[in-house]
Each structure stands twice: as structure tokens, then as C-alpha cells.
């Protein structure tokens, strides 16, 4: 989620010309991307628990905010790593994140528990997939072989089954594993063991299920260490899931401009994810976990704002073209203290841009701090839902 921060820093520095925007528009039209012909693959009311989330944000966010960020640039292919064009089956089109649920240290601590009814509500609204962030590391033994607490594993399995029973595909990730980012060498065996256990647990799952290796790696971990981690964990998963689409992203909170900095494993079924919260001063205004705090009141819709969106889409398309990988906006959203009409305007512009560029997306989030669903009153925020659904 750092696309957010860096925009604030570097956008004013980028001269974004109208010609540049036109180029991006043309690119949107010309490059439907590999996902264009993708076949479908086989297959309550606490809107704001943020106050009780003191440690949710890694301190590196703060550092990153202060550091000047590189501008989004067009992404050259790493010749050696460039795979032959692939048709990766990735049937995600309209996805929503189950934020603040299994993402909390313990389910319920950030106000949300998953209920079967949530998935019916999500499917009925027109979503085809739900991304379920899971904070596994808090539920694992400290010593090798680092067993995941069986009750916790059963709980995740139940939630996945509930979502699939409602007809939804599921993206299962590893969220908030901060120790892995800070103490990578020490934590690697635990991380590898985690994916082995997840792989075993879901080995027989024939529904639409996607694995996402690591949410929002930050600059605490080097590109090299991150690439090594991906290279080590992939074969472990592939033992049991030979062709299941696996989602991986770049450094700096899955920033689109860093997708090309990792070494892409030679695996035809990888999906490239990026997170898109630009500009951060708009989407994260007043967020309790931001330090220093971002003042409220920023509106969205200036020329620079729409140009920033074009830049983001342009970078995603450029990566896709160079690397022949489907790209996926795995998180985008606006905090729910922003007035509905403004949130809807931002969400609509994003969704239109993604759809035109044939980029799959997953809005953040269902009933957390960026909620599209109002659990208290049991109804969707109408303008925001229409914005992402194109109604």
C-alpha cells in the first residue's frame, strides 16, 4: 500500500503533460493485455476499529513517507527473466477485501468476525472473489516445525469454505508478517513451513482459490531477499499446487513502480499484484495508524489527481507488456471518513481505468476502515458500491 505515500512526495515533481495522458489513454485502448482472453479457471457494526490498532502500521511507513520516492517509470523487461507470453488463468474480475477480520492479531479484535452471511451479501452485490488477509504468524508455534495452531487453521479453512459455498473465489494471503520483513533470515524457515502447511491444508481444494505469498513487503526487506524468499517458497507450494495461480508483488508496499525489481521466477502461473491508494493524502486522510497524521479535508479530482491515476495504470500496463504477466490491483480504496460522493468519485475513476486496461482488481474493503458495507445498518454504501460495480 505504498503507492499511497510515494505519490504524495513525488507527484508534484513529475511534469505530467497532456500528451503523456493521451499516450496512456492510447495504451489503454491498444493493450488489452494477456488477461483479455483469459479463460475462467476451474472453477457487524464496528465500522472503525482503527483506534484499537496501534501497531498495525509498520514503522517503516513513517520512514518511507519522509524519503523521496522515485517517479513511476516505464518498466524495461529483464531479458533473462522474460517468459514466453502466457495465458495465465486468473478469473478474478470484481473482488473485495475482507479487511480487519482475520487480518487482526485475533479475529474480532479489530471489530470484524467473518460470518457465512457476509459472503452471501458480497456475492449478491456482484463480486466474484474475496481476498482474505490472514495474520498467520501470531498463530504458529515458536519452534520448528512451527505448527499453525490447529484451531486457527480449521477456522481459516471454514471461512474459505463459507466464501466458496457462496460462489466466490478466494485469495488467501500472508498479512502483517512484520517479523519476516525485519528479521528475514531468522524467520524464513517459519515462513516456508507456513506455506507448506497452507499447501497441505488446501491440497484438495478444487474451488477457485489463489495464494498470495506476502502482503506489502516493505523496504525493511531488500529486493534481493524478497526475490530469494519467493524463489524458496514457490517450489514448496508447487509440490501440491502445480498450476494454481499464485500472486506476488514488489517491494514498498506492493508499489507498482517496483514490480520489475524482483527476480520473477520462471513460472507461468504467477500474477503480479500492486496496491493503489494514490494520492495517499486523500485516501488515508485522518487514518489513525499514519504517523505523522494526515489532515482531513483533502478532496480528489484535480488534473494532477487524474494524471496520477493515468501514470499508475500506464506503469501497470508497461509491466504487463514487458513481462507477459497478468497484473492485479489487489488493494485500492478510500478511508470511510471521507464524504461518500468523494469516495465514489475516486473509486469510479479507478474502476473505469482498470476495466479499460483489463486489470483485475480487489477493492479495500468490505467492512473495515475503508468499508463499502455498513454493518451497523446492514446495507451497502450505495454510491461507493455503484462506483465499483459500474452501475
- The answer to whether residue 364 forms part of the interface with ligand GLC (CB under 6 A) is yes
Q: How far is the CB of 373 from ligand GLC (least distance, A)?
A: 15
Closest CA to 273 of 359, 153, 187, 156: 359
Q: How many CB atoms are located within 10 Å of the residue 99 CB?
A: 26
Q: How far is the CB of 283 from ligand GLC (least distance, A)?
A: 8
Nearer to ligand GLC, 1 or 180 (CB): 1
Q: Which three cell numbers stand for residue 304?
A: 494532477
Nearer to ligand GLC, 2 or 75 (CB): 2
Q: Coil, strand or helix: which one is 93?
A: coil
- The answer to whether residue 331 forms part of the interface with ligand GLC (CB under 6 A) is yes
> Which residue from 11, 28, 56, 75 is in contact with ligand GLC, where contact means CB under 6 A?
56
Q: How far is the CB of 30 from ligand GLC (least distance, A)?
A: 32
> x/- contact string, 66-105, with ligand GLC (CB under 6 A)?
---------------------------------x---x--
- Which residues share a beta bridge with 271? 247
Residue in the structure block whose three cell numbers are 479499460:
356
CA angle 133, 98, 209 (to 5 degrees): 65
Q: How far is the CB of 317 from ligand GLC (least distance, A)?
A: 23
Nearer to ligand GLC, 311 or 331 (CB): 331
Query: What SS3 string covers 330-348?
Result: EEECCCCCCCHHHHHHHHH
H/E segment holding residue 211: strand 209-212
Question: What residues from 155 to 184 belong to the interface with ligand GLC (CB under 6 A)?
Answer: 175-176
Nearer to ligand GLC, 91 or 362 (CB): 362
CB neighbour class for 311 (10 Å; exposed up to 12, middle 13-18, buried from 19):
buried
Q: How many CB atoms are located within 10 Å of the residue 226 CB?
A: 24
Q: Coil, strand or helix: which one is 20?
A: helix
* Position with the least CB separation from ligand GLC: 1
Question: What residues from 224 to 253 belong to the interface with ligand GLC (CB under 6 A)?
Answer: none
Q: Which three cell numbers stand for residue 122?
A: 458480497
Q: How far is the CB of 68 from ligand GLC (least distance, A)?
A: 21
Nearer to ligand GLC, 146 or 364 (CB): 364
Residue in the structure block whose three cell numbers are 463499502:
372
Q: How far is the CB of 99 from ligand GLC (least distance, A)?
A: 5
Contact footprint for ligand GLC (CB under 6 A)? 1, 56, 99, 103, 175-176, 215-216, 331, 364, 369
Amino acid at each position: 500500500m505504498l503507492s499511497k505515500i510515494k505519490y504524495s512526495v513525488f507527484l508534484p515533481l513529475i511534469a505530467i503533460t497532456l500528451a503523456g495522458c493521451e499516450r496512456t489513454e492510447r495504451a489503454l485502448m491498444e493493450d488489452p493485455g494477456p488477461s483479455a482472453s483469459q479463460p475462467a479457471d476451474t472453477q457487524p457494526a464496528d465500522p472503525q476499529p482503527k483506534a484499537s490498532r496501534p501497531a498495525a502500521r509498520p514503522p517503516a511507513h513513517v520512514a518511507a513517507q519522509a524519503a523521496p520516492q522515485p517517479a513511476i517509470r516505464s518498466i524495461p523487461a529483464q531479458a533473462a527473466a522474460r517468459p514466453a507470453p502466457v495465458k495465465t488463468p486468473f478469473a478474478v474480475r470484481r473482488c473485495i477485501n475482507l479487511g480487519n477480520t482475520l487480518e487482526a492479531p485475533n479475529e474480532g479484535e479489530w471489530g470484524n468476525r467473518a460470518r457465512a452471511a457476509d459472503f452471501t451479501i458480497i456475492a449478491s452485490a456482484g463480486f466474484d472473489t474475496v481476498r482474505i488477509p490472514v495474520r498467520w504468524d501470531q498463530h504458529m508455534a515458536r519452534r520448528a516445525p512451527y505448527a499453525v495452531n490447529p484451531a486457527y487453521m480449521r477456522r481459516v479453512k471454514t471461512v474459505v469454505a463459507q466464501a466458496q459455498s457462496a460462489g466466490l473465489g478466494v485469495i488467501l494471503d500472508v498479512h502483517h508478517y512484520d517479523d519476516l520483513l525485519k528479521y528475514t533470515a531468522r524467520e524464513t524457515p517459519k515462513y516456508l513451513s507456513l506455506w507448506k502447511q497452507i499447501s497441505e491444508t488446501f491440497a484438495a481444494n478444487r474451488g477457485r482459490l489463489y495464494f498470495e505469498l506476502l502482503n506489502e513487503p516493505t523496504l525493511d526487506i531488500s529486493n534481493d531477499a524478497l526475490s530469494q524468499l519467493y524463489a524458496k517458497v514457490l517450489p514448496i507450494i508447487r509440490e501440491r499446487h502445480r498450476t494454481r495461480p499464485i500472486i506476488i508483488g514488489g517491494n514498498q508496499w506492493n508499489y507498482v513502480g517496483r514490480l520489475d525489481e524482483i527476480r520473477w521466477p520462471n513460472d507461468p502461473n504467477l500474477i503480479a499484484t500492486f496496491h493503489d491508494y494514490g494520492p495517499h493524502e486523500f485516501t488515508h486522510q485522518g487514518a489513525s495508524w499514519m504517523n505523522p497524521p494526515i489532515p482531513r479535508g483533502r478532496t480528489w479530482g484535480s488534473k494532477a489527481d487524474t494524471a496520477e491515476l493515468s501514470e499508475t495504470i500506464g506503469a501497470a500496463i508497461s509491466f504487463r507488456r514487458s513481462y507477459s504477466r497478468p497484473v492485479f490491483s489487489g488493494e485500492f480504496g478510500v478511508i470511510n471518513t471521507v464524504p461518500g460522493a468523494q469516495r465514489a468519485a475516486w473509486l469510479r475513476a479507478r474502476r473505469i481505468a482498470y476495466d479499460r486496461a483489463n486489470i483485475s482488481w480487489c477493492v479495500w474493503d468490505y467492512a473495515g476502515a475503508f468499508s463499502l458495507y455498513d454493518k451497523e445498518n446492514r446495507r451497502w454504501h450505495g454510491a461507493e458500491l455503484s462506483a465499483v460495480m459500474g452501475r
